[in-house]
Amino acid sequence: MKTLGLYFFLYACGFSNVFARVKPIPLIYKNNQISLPGLDNIIPTTIYSNDLSMIREPIYMKIPRPIHRIIIDYTKQTIIKTTIKTNHYLRLIRSENILPTLLLSFTGGWIMNPSLSGLFRSSRFISASIITILVMSSSMVLNDLFDIEIDKVNNPHRPLVTGDITKKEAIMFLSTMLGLSECLNFRYLTGNLQSVTHLAIMVITLYTPVFKSKLFLKNLSCAVLISFASSFAGFAANSNQYSNKNIALLWLASRMVFFGSLSNEILLDMIDYNGDKRNGISTIPVVFGKRVAFSIVYVITDFNVLVNTMNLILMYDFKIGIIFMFLSSPLVSYLNSINNVKWCKENIYDDNTILYYVKQTVKPLLMSLLYLCAITPR
């Protein structure tokens, strides 16, 4: 009767669902007699023993969230944050320039050492290519660090302007890239190549505070820095055995990149006209006007195509020179398309159209460089 009364008492207290879900406690467990507590002194919370694996915990006990779910959620959040931060760093170094820079290095390396196995087994060539990318990327970070106020007008979406990357993070990132380039420089390169690396780092360091305020000097320094990629990688790939024709082709490729970069830099100054004028930076568009700047670009581009075509005709034959002129002729035709648009006044050159032209120049430049690789003597 006491037992029956106890069950009625528990049922009235709301424990009926618990009894429905819990298996009964056996009197015999593992061949041992289990002594149950006296029914008179039994407490509802001690009815179910946790010592028996077959007995479930009461459903009213709070079940903690599985620890593996917490780890998974934290990992997902970390991956998302890391991906977003990485994209900001890629925007900071203008990662779209990495592939063209690698192609410049490959062009120089192939002209001086026309062998895929020889290039990819050359630690000097690989190190020179990586150093070139690191130096180019460092120049982008340095320029943004110095030009934060100017970019608020010219490029308001840059990571340092928007705050996606802080100055401290940019400086640490810059130091890492320059430190890695110097480690590769001292480890794998020798002699004059090490001096060239030091000179390139000095140029990118002085570019914004010194060269950028000087008329036309900023354009020259940028063009030299970009064109050095092919010659630097070329001499790193093979500094001992080469013919005069290989060296002539290497200088032709570097010269073409130099004049192509020089014209693009002047066009980019046309886009930055308002910000440069407000901050007192002397550029060709600011000093002489956009129309004069565009005319200079036109002359440089025509000179670049014609002189290199004549050099190839003298080095090889008329057919090879004409093919080169055909591949590089879009550089001139794109400029003609800009000039034929109905602009009547000095400052109506559309920034988006000019930027589109600058992007379009990459393809004919790269096609011309690949052609130089194809005619390289082996």
**The pLDDT value given to residue 20:** 46
3-state secondary structure of 240: coil
The angle at the Cα of 326, spanning 321 to 327, to the nearest 5 degrees, equals: 100
Report the mean per-residue pLDDT for the chain. Answer: 80
**The pLDDT value given to residue 243:** 66
Give the confidence band of 242 by pLDDT, cuts at 50, 70, 90.
low
3-state secondary structure of 32: strand
| Sign of torsion over alpha carbons 72, 76, 81, 87 | positive
**Tens digits of residue pLDDT in 61-98:** 444 556 657 777 778 888 888 889 999 999 999 998 89
> For residues 143 and 243, is the Cβ–Cβ distance under 8 A?
no
Please report where in the chains the tokens 């990629």 appear, as a residue: 229
> For residues 351 and 271, is the Cβ–Cβ distance under 8 A?
yes
This prediction's pTM: 0.75
Query: Of residues 346 and 174, which shows the higher confidence score?
Result: 174
The share of the chain scoring above pLDDT 70, in percent, equals: 77
**The pLDDT value given to residue 351:** 73
3-state secondary structure of 152: helix
DSSP string, 105-152: HHHHHHHHS--HHHHHT-HHHHHHHHHHHHHHHHHHHHHHHHTHHHHH
**Tens digits of residue pLDDT in 153-190:** 778 889 999 989 999 999 999 999 999 999 999 999 98
**The pLDDT value given to residue 345:** 45
User: Where do the structural domains in the chain lie, given as residue ranges?
Assistant: 2-46
The tally of CA atoms less than 13 A away on the side-chain side of residue 181 is 27
What six digits make up the tokens of 178?
């320059």
CA 5, CA 220: separation in Å to the nearest integer?
101
What is the average per-residue pLDDT within 285-313? 91
What is the average per-residue pLDDT within 328-353? 68
**The pLDDT value given to residue 15:** 46
**The pLDDT value given to residue 30:** 43
pLDDT above 90: residue 312: yes
Q: Containing H/E element for 71?
A: helix 67-92
Which amino acid does the sequence have at 285? P
**Tens digits of residue pLDDT in 251-270:** 999 999 999 999 999 988 88
CA 323, CA 325: separation in Å to the nearest integer?
5
pLDDT above 90: residue 289: no
Q: What is the CA radius of gyration of the chain?
A: 36
pLDDT above 60: residue 290: yes
> For residues 226 and 257, is the Cβ–Cβ distance under 8 A?
yes
> For residues 132 and 105, is the Cβ–Cβ distance under 8 A?
yes
CB proximity list for 319: less than 8 A, separation 6 or greater: none
**The pLDDT value given to residue 341:** 55
What is the average per-residue pLDDT within 194-213? 88
Phi, psi (degrees; rounded to nearest 5) at 353: -65, -40
CA 5, CA 12: separation in Å to the nearest integer?
11
Phi, psi (degrees; rounded to nearest 5) at 32: -120, 140
CB proximity list for 118: less than 8 A, separation 6 or greater: 237, 238
**The pLDDT value given to residue 45:** 47
